[in-house]
Structure 1
Amino acid sequence: MEEYNEFFRIGQYTDAEAMTGCTVILCEDGVTGGVSVRGGSPNTRDTDALKSENNRKFVHGVTLSGGSAFGLAANAGVVDFLEENGIGRDMGITFVPNVVGASLFDLRIGRADVRPNYQAGRNACEQAFSGQQFQAGNYGAGTGCSVGTINGAKNAMKGGIGLYTMRHGNLWVTAVIAVNAVGDVYEEELGKIIAGARKPGEKKIGFSEELFLEHYQNEEALFDGNTVIGCVMTNATFPKAKMNKLADISHNGIARAIRPSHTTYDGDTLFVLGANQIEASFEAVSILAVEAVRRAIIAGTKTAATYGDYLAYQDV
């Protein structure tokens, strides 16, 4: 059993017909949270509350969803579910859960008119409390993910959601990442790109940076609607300001695995949650966080399944 199960519950809602879904990370007792948004086209909920200078002390849930701006509706279902189960800030008259979230663009796959909604958020929470095992690839927020979209949908590849845990002694860091990038996915161990933009008639994979350079005088959106989103969990203890810094550094894992990363056309967003269980140096946690994010991206890419023109890693 993964270490994170002691402090966090993960649940997923998947609509395999419409090719969209959402993933929730729940923490009943509340944990310290942070966030970093580096992409140029984000869709987020309540990220301002996580700023170091603001009063929000604890987070009870993170929602990662497909559906672009429409998919943020799933957060409302998560909030209501948690309130009904007595999870959140006890205000005397009710419980107010602190739920943050981000959505990615997956409307070009499957049905554009079906997006994660209120009920999808509730369903994901129900799965989290039922003990659902995490599934990587075309599940939850990863259902409609794609990579290498700069050359159009027919020349892109399938992305997915991945999870990876790094451990050192009693310290652990787990990353859950939905891989939906305009760029290509690079695996350091193989020293090559494993998924990304293709060109008709060519076997090579990974033309994203080349195509960006070819169109260097084109200021129009080359191919918008992407975004890598995720959540990093750890048992380490840090104040809110350090959690925000950790979220910022965790993006280095995206930079190591996605080429190019953090583009104008991505809304790359990472949340970080700390269970405050053990003391650890910030540098040690940062090293594990970056690697967990990188490996979660590789896992999400390698477990994705082909859908239509979006070929998966395992089929190329």
Structure 2
Amino acid sequence: MKKKIFLGLFAAIHICSLSIFTSCSKNNDKKMLGVDTTNRVDNYSDMDNLVESLPFSELQGISVGNAQDNDAQTGVTVFFFPEASMASAVVLGGGPASREVPVLDPQRNTQPLNALVFSGGSAYGLAASDGVVTCLEEHGYGYNTGYGLVPIVCQSCIFDLSYGKSNIRPDRKMGYKACQNAIASNSPLSGNVGAGTGATVGKPGGMATAQKSGIGYAAARLGQLEVGVAVVVNALGDIFQDGVKIAGMTTIDRKGFVSAEQAVLKNQYSDLIAGNTTIAAVFTNAHLSVADLQKVANIASTGMARSIRPVFTMADGDTVYAISLSGGMILSDVNTVGVLASLVMEKAIADAILASKIANEEYLHNI
């Protein structure tokens, strides 16, 4: 008898708690997403109309600057945050070249970022951040230690030494110039510019059957929630847009495509070229914790998986950052931000390809 009473009481409490949770969820929907959900549509037939495209340059709290050596075919892109912004990251590839990424781990004493740097040059390109740090200090940006300012700067590099001149890489001077440009004006330029200058894709067969890529941008708005993505596509794999291959490994005569995935499977005992990395950053006005930002970066990477095949290999250094701009003003669910970011990621990857197409003759001249 006591057992029945206990079970009945437990069921009543459980039902009551579910009712309270449902009520809270309904009351928070408008506040969290900035979307009027008072009149919900159950069949979701108009879901595509909820998300609207947004120019990347309209994102608040970020300014982009570039510098490149067009002769050497390498460069730097700096994402400058006038108000230092919280960030996190996930490293998904087997061969990253990066600076200070561990400080973005939720278990660390994470400090807001003053700038994020993308560059070419592989590990040599990490020198670009020295110039960025100097530039930020001169302009009064950084963490005040009591003994001086220490700008918080993270960086990821792509391997572009196989394109252009391998003995000329991004350095302190180029990083300083890109930072100056970012502080002076916002220039989120797509294609063969900045860190995307020497980017290529489709490399299981080597550079002779690869194609040019670059840096791409995209952004979207869902109610008051805004998400933007910047990505430098320097992948081992092929690139797809809506399931259709738009760049990647070609035939020897460069007149048709070959599957990079099939090439990897066919040459299963061969060493792949380790000169590949897709680096991306998600920027949002959502107020998220460092742990939530890390999850957003993780979810956003699914957009890479839909667009790049193969991806996250040991021959790639794929890395995704997520940044809450100016501390973030919009309360939003981490899943919503992550899923929207994954969709925007696909758009940005396609933009990187479409904005960087060059003639075969020019490409072959640079390898």
Q: TM-score, length-normalised on structure 2?
A: 0.81
The one-letter amino acid of 2:281's match is C
Contact 1:148–1:157 (8 Å) recurs in 2: yes
2:333 match: 281
2:73 aligned to which of 8, 16, 19:
19
Q: State the SS of the aligned residue for 1:236.
A: coil
2:170 match: 116
Contact 1:156–1:310 (8 Å) recurs in 2: no
Q: State the SS of the aligned residue for 1:31.
A: strand
The 5-angstrom pairing of residues 105-254 of structure 1 reads 105-188=159-242, 191-201=243-253, 203-216=255-268, 218=269, 220-254=270-304
Q: State the SS of the aligned residue for 1:111.
A: coil
Change (3 A) 1:229 1:309: farther
Q: State the SS of the aligned residue for 1:35.
A: strand
Q: State the SS of the aligned residue for 2:134.
A: helix
Change (3 A) 1:51 1:11: same
Aligned length: 308
Bigger Rg, structure 1 or 2: 2
Task: Please state if 1:301 is matched with 2:353.
Answer: yes
The 5-angstrom pairing of residues 28-177 of structure 1 reads 28-177=82-231
CA offset digits 1:215-253 (Å, max 9, x no partner): 12x1x4222201001211000001111111111111111
Contact 1:83–1:95 (8 Å) recurs in 2: yes
Take 2:283 and 2:290, find their aligned partners in 1: how far apart are those partners?
14
Per the TM alignment, residue 204 of structure 1 is displaced from its structure 2 partner at its CA by: 2.8
Change (3 A) 1:55 1:170: same
Computed over aligned residues only, the root mean square deviation of the Cα atoms, in angstroms, reads 1.7
Per the TM alignment, residue 6 of structure 1 is displaced from its structure 2 partner at its CA by: 2.3
Change (3 A) 1:157 1:54: same
CA offset digits 1:245-292 (Å, max 9, x no partner): 111111111111000011111000111110211111112111111111
Change (3 A) 1:183 1:66: same
Take 1:308 and 1:115, find their aligned partners in 2: how far apart are those partners?
24
Q: State the SS of the aligned residue for 1:174.
A: strand
Take 2:267 and 2:300, find their aligned partners in 1: how far apart are those partners?
30
Take 1:231 and 1:214, find their aligned partners in 2: how far apart are those partners?
33
Q: TM-score, length-normalised on structure 1?
A: 0.93
Per the TM alignment, residue 97 of structure 1 is displaced from its structure 2 partner at its CA by: 1.1
Unaligned runs of at least 5 residues, structure 2: 1-54
Contact 1:153–1:309 (8 Å) recurs in 2: no
Take 1:238 and 1:202, find their aligned partners in 2: how far apart are those partners?
46
Unaligned runs of at least 5 residues, structure 1: none
**Structure with greater helix share of residues:** 2
Change (3 A) 1:208 1:309: farther
Q: State the SS of the aligned residue for 1:173.
A: strand
Per the TM alignment, residue 310 of structure 1 is displaced from its structure 2 partner at its CA by: 7.0
